[in-house]
Amino acid sequence: MNIAPRLLQSFLALAHCRNFTEAATRMHMSQSAFSQAIARLESQVGVKLFDRSTRSVSLTPEGKLLVPMATRLERDIALMFQELHDHADRKKGKVAIAAPPGASADWLPRVMANFQRRHPGIQLQLHDTYSDRILELVRNGTVDFALNREIERPEEFDVCKLFDDPHYLVCPQDHPLAKEKSIRVAQLAGENYIHLLRGSNLWQRLYPHLSRVAIRDTGFELNNMSTAAGLIANGMGVTIVAGQSLFNYQRLGLAAVLVSDADLRNSGLYLLKRRGHSLSVAAQGLREMIEADKPVLPATQRPAARRQGRTRAG
Amino acid sequence: MNIAPRLLQSFLALAHCRNFTEAATRMHMSQSAFSQAIARLESQVGVKLFDRSTRSVSLTPEGKLLVPMATRLERDIALMFQELHDHADRKKGKVAIAAPPGASADWLPRVMANFQRRHPGIQLQLHDTYSDRILELVRNGTVDFALNREIERPEEFDVCKLFDDPHYLVCPQDHPLAKEKSIRVAQLAGENYIHLLRGSNLWQRLYPHLSRVAIRDTGFELNNMSTAAGLIANGMGVTIVAGQSLFNYQRLGLAAVLVSDADLRNSGLYLLKRRGHSLSVAAQGLREMIEADKPVLPATQRPAARRQGRTRAG
DNA sequence: CACACTTACGATATTCGTAAGGATT
DNA sequence: AATCCTTACGAATATCGTAAGTGTG
């Protein structure tokens, strides 16, 4: 039961031409090989398909029966190939990714827009959400891959660092620490601290530091960084954010001072996916574009200059 | 684009087992050949279909995409084979034949019933009609083949004689000619002649004879032989019919006398089909059964004994 | 006798199995 | 060390093309 699609094509060609020589030409083979092919087909299906006297070729009743079935089959096979090749060529496909809000606000959408322009047939989806949810989306396969900050058990995933993204203290320009090159969390003793979402990745990371320092928790728990920025600009306190989110605060002219505690200083953005599961061709394409287009954020650079990530559209 | 169905089966087997060794066993091939087959498939479709680390095998996104398409395709291929094999094995099919009323009345239905018992899946159709219509049905392919008497241009068809079926004069037992061994048409001078359908095959054949003899045409033109039989039994005239239709008259105890004019004496029943077009497997089966089961009508046999055609059911 | 399909036969390509290699647990 | 997939290589099979054969108009 192992009929080559090429044989079906030959059958249909002959059914159409009713002439071995012409059909053979159409199949790009010698007339003799074509004759053998038809004979082989007939022996495989177990019935004569053509009546041929040297001067005329016509379908037997069983041949007539096969025509519509073979036609449908040939079309389905072609469609299957088309579909796979379209995916291989990135003309079709879906990519879903997840990322924290900082990445999702500015840089990532720009990369995704570039990708969309280059591969208009691929459907993109972005989940901007918090760390634990991101991990869940990767685990259950809802997204092809994700961007995230440092996570607890990186061995569960395939992880690779995209770029460094250290944390900064955000405070008013006239704040005593604003002129420092860098600070340590310990220096925040006595400050009012404004938390963003409690339980977030950042909160989990800051907590051990802050709890050791005599900091005054303002009790705020905010969803939007623009709210935090407004509060800080009006002297209500300070906060710490990753470099990638600084733009929310610079809009209001706030100062940003590098935090030099090791884990906050060395943090960065990572790309992660399920272990042992390769990416779809489409997802791999987006991944490569993300890796090629990541913003340059050298550790020593002052935050005011950070928007110069190069754009590489094709 | 020439993917062997066997490759698709291999793909589905591996997709299901997620284990090369087991899937290879299921496909009855060595694990190595199976590995090569999968690699070949991947190169043909142009994308990796499986993620394999020595300890686990899983589908890539493109592999997942292929599963439903391959499943459908495999099923369609199997159905195609099933259909063709069912026809080759005479488990399915249609046979339409045409025959003149004489053959259709008794002998042919018996053969068809035998065929139906042996091949219950094959749909049978019988057109009982007159000669010209029979030829038309064969010509345009409405019927697979037909039974008919001598025709004008036999070279138009593939014709082969089934059996002799000479003509008989039908008259009352007390008719002067009833005791003859055989007669010639010329002896019917002065008789009242009862025609069946004018323009029929029989009429066309009798006309040259009757027109040369001083016969009184009764003017009747009948559709049913039983009517003719009634008329003859009541002394209204005589007629001539083929042996196969005699049963209509013997029921009323009428006499039948062989007509010895050459063309009426030597007539018979023929099987005919389109030239150069082979019969379907099913039709060929019926044809063979017809040829094997034809009634024995030796020329010298008296009509009263003619119902002894043997039945060959299996 | 010319045309169109089939058969014969040697060359090439594909597919398969045994055996060795490599990687992961 | 055991297990599972891949690679290497020779053997078997399938397919193809050239050329000769066959039958029909």
Sheet holding A255-259, edge to edge: A182-183, A255-259, A167-171, A239-242
Of B165, B178, B168, B188, residue with least CA distance to B259 = B168
A167-259 topology per CATH: D-Maltodextrin-Binding Protein; domain 2 (3.40.190)
Contacts of A81 in chain B (CB under 8 A): 1, 3, 45
pLDDT confidence band for A310 (50 / 70 / 90): very low
Q: What is the DSSP letter of A269?
A: E
Q: Cβ contact (<8 Å) for B80 and A65?
A: no
Nearest to B84 among A66, A79, A280 (CB): A66
Give the Cα separation of B180 and B170 in Å (integer). 12
Rounded to 5°, the CA angle A95-A130-A141 comes to: 35
Q: Cβ contact (<8 Å) for A65 and B76?
A: no
pLDDT at A305 exceeding the cut of 50: no
Of B224, B221, B222, B226, residue with least CA distance to B250 = B226
Domain with CATH 3.40.190.10 in chain A: 93-164+268-292, 167-259
pLDDT tens by residue, chain B, 314 residues: 789 999 999 999 999 999 999 999 999 999 999 999 999 999 999 999 999 987 899 999 999 999 999 999 999 999 999 999 999 999 999 999 999 988 888 899 999 999 999 999 999 999 999 899 999 999 999 999 999 999 988 888 999 999 999 999 999 999 999 999 999 999 999 899 998 877 777 888 888 888 888 888 888 888 888 888 999 999 999 999 999 889 889 889 999 999 999 989 999 999 999 988 999 999 999 999 999 988 765 333 444 444 444 444 33
- In tens, the pLDDT along A205-227 reads 888 888 888 888 888 888 888 88
User: How many other C-beta atoms lie within 10 A of the C-beta of residue B6?
Assistant: 15
Nearest to A73 among B53, B77, B283 (CB): B77
Of A235, A240, A296, residue with least CA distance to A265 = A240
Give the Cα separation of B79 and B87 in Å (integer). 12
- What per-residue confidence (pLDDT) applies to A280? 96
Q: B56 is written with which tokens?
A: 């686990």
Q: Cβ contact (<8 Å) for B77 and A47?
A: no
Contacts of A84 in chain B (CB under 8 A): 45-47, 62, 65-66
Range list of β-strands (E), A54-166: 56-59, 93-99, 122-128, 145-148, 157-164
Q: What is the DSSP letter of A6?
A: H
Give the Cα separation of A93 and A88 in Å (integer). 9
Output helix, strand, coil percentages for chain A, rounded to the nearest 5: 45, 20, 35
Mean pLDDT of A127-148: 94
Q: For residue A172, what is the enclosing H or E element?
A: none
Tell me which protein residue sits closest to nucleotide D16, measuring alpha carbon to C1': A33
Chain B residue closest to A72 (CA)?
Answer: B76
Of B240, B236, B249, residue with least CA distance to B183 = B240
Protein CA at B52 to nucleotide C1' at C24, angstroms: 11
Contacts of B143 in chain A (CB under 8 A): none
| Between residues A99 and B314, the one the model is more confident about | A99
CB B27 within 8 A of CB B10: yes
Q: Which nucleotides of C are covered by protein (CB under 7 A)?
A: 3-8, 15-20, 22-25
- What per-residue confidence (pLDDT) applies to A294? 82
Give the Cα separation of B147 and B130 in Å (integer). 11
Give the Cα separation of A251 and A228 in Å (integer). 12
Contacts of B2 in chain A (CB under 8 A): 4-6
Cα–Cα separations (whole angstroms), residue B133 to B98, B108, B146, B147, B201: 9, 18, 11, 12, 11
Average pLDDT of chain A to the nearest whole number: 89
- Provide the shortest C-alpha distance from residue B85 to chain A (in Å): 7
- What per-residue confidence (pLDDT) applies to A122? 98
Mean pLDDT of A104-122: 94
- What per-residue confidence (pLDDT) applies to B211? 82
Whether CB of B35 is under 7 Å from strand D: the answer is yes
Of A86, A105, A121, residue with least CA distance to A226 = A105
CB pairs under 8 A between A and B: 117
pLDDT at A247 exceeding the cut of 90: no
Protein CA at B227 to nucleotide C1' at D16, angstroms: 70
Which CATH number describes the domain made up of A5-88?
A: 1.10.10.10
Which CATH number describes the domain made up of A93-164+268-292?
A: 3.40.190.10
Q: B154 is written with which tokens?
A: 């036999």
Give the Cα separation of A236 and A193 in Å (integer). 9
Domain with CATH 1.10.10.10 in chain B: 5-88
pLDDT at A307 exceeding the cut of 80: no
Mean pLDDT of A129-144: 94
Protein CA at B10 to nucleotide C1' at C14, angstroms: 17
Q: Which nucleotides of D are covered by protein (CB under 7 A)?
A: 3-8, 15-20, 22-25
Give the Cα separation of B162 and A161 in Å (integer). 89
DSSP string for A173-239: TTSTTTT-SEE-GGGGTT-EEEEESTTSHHHHHHHHHHTTS--EEEEEEES-HHHHHHHHHTTS-BE
- Provide the shortest C-alpha distance from residue A81 to chain B (in Å): 7
Cα–Cα separations (whole angstroms), residue A4 to A41, B104, B202: 9, 46, 55
Q: A202 is written with which tokens?
A: 């950042």
Q: B288 is written with which tokens?
A: 């063979």
Nearest to B280 among A62, A85, A283 (CB): A62
- What per-residue confidence (pLDDT) applies to B314? 31
Q: B127 is written with which tokens?
A: 């057109």
Indicate the pTM of the whole model.
Answer: 0.83
* Residues whose beta carbon sits under 7 Å from strand C: A 19-21, 31-32, 35-36, 38-39, 52, 54-55, 57; B 4, 6, 28-33, 36-37, 40, 53-55
Mean pLDDT lowest among A201-205, A296-300, B158-162: A296-300
Cα–Cα separations (whole angstroms), residue A208 to A205, A211, A257, A264, B185: 7, 5, 20, 12, 127
Three-state DSSP string of chain B: CCCCHHHHHHHHHHHHHCCHHHHHHHCCCCHHHHHHHHHHHHHHHCCCCEEEECCEEEECHHHHHHHHHHHHHHHHHHHHHHHHHHHHCCCCEEEEEEECHHHHHCHHHHHHHHHHHHCCCEEEEEEECCHHHHHHHHHCCCCCEEEECCCCCHHHEEEEEEEECCEEEEECCCCCCCCCCEECHHHHCCCEEEEECCCCHHHHHHHHHHCCCCCEEEEEEECCHHHHHHHHHCCCCEEEEEHHHCHHHHCCCCEEEEECCHHHHCCEEEEEEECCCCCCHHHHHHHHHHHHCCCCCCCCCCHHHCCCCCCCCC
Sheet holding B239-242, edge to edge: B182-183, B255-259, B167-171, B239-242
Nearest to B47 among A73, A88, A283 (CB): A88
